[in-house]
Structure formats: C-alpha cells, structure tokens
C-alpha cells in the first residue's frame, strides 16, 4: 500500500460518514449531465491549476484523457485558467490604486 493510499484510508477511518458523503458528491458532480464528462474533466483540470492543487492535477489530467480530451484540449484549458488567474490579479490592482490615491 502506498503512503498516499495509507493516509487516505486513515483520513477515511477518522471521518467515514463525511468521506462517503464527499465521494457520493464527487461521483454525482462528475456524472454526465448537461455537460459531458470530458468537459467536466477539462473544467476540473483548469480549476486545479487555478487552485494550484497538484493532487487534483495528477488525478484529473488522466481522467480527462480517458474521457476523450486531447492533450491539446487539456493544454488550452490550462491556458484559459492561467488567463483567468492573471486577469483576477490585474483587476485587484484597483485595490492598490485606491490605496495609492489615499496616500499621494
């Protein structure tokens, strides 16, 4: 058993009801609905990059491939995430601008 698998089991043992609820929630969210599973996995890969979660990136990248996403589609989703993250940083410059204007 890998260290990650062992830790996951220990966490589940400490809060089994919550872990089961989380797993059910995750299965429900990623089921095909109005959005297909490939699109949902591309969104997950993009969000994982914005939240900077290495475990999510490692989990959802192969899932996206298995759901039919191409490597190019995955990379494009990552670039969309990067642009959105950069845009948020730039727009928050308004807060700094406001503070600078208070202190000429």
Burial (0-12, 13-18, 19+ Cβ within 10 Å), 61: buried
Closest by Cα among 35, 67, 68, 42 to 57: 42
Q: Residue 80 above 90 pLDDT?
A: yes
The whole-number pLDDT of residue 1 equals 82
The proportion of the chain whose per-residue pLDDT surpasses 90, expressed as a percent, equals: 94
pTM of this prediction?
0.85
């Amino acid at each position: 058993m890998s260290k990650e698998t062992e830790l996951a089991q220990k966490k589940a043992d400490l809060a089994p009801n919550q872990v089961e609820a989380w797993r059910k929630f995750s299965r429900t969210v990623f089921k095909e609905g109005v959005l297909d599973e490939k699109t949902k996995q591309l969104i997950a890969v993009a969000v994982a990059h914005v939240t900077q979660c290495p475990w999510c990136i490692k989990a959802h990248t192969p899932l996206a491939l298995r759901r039919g996403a191409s490597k190019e589609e995955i990379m494009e989703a990552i670039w969309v995430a990067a642009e959105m993250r950069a845009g948020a940083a730039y727009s928050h410059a308004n807060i700094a601008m406001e503070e600078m204007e208070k202190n000429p």
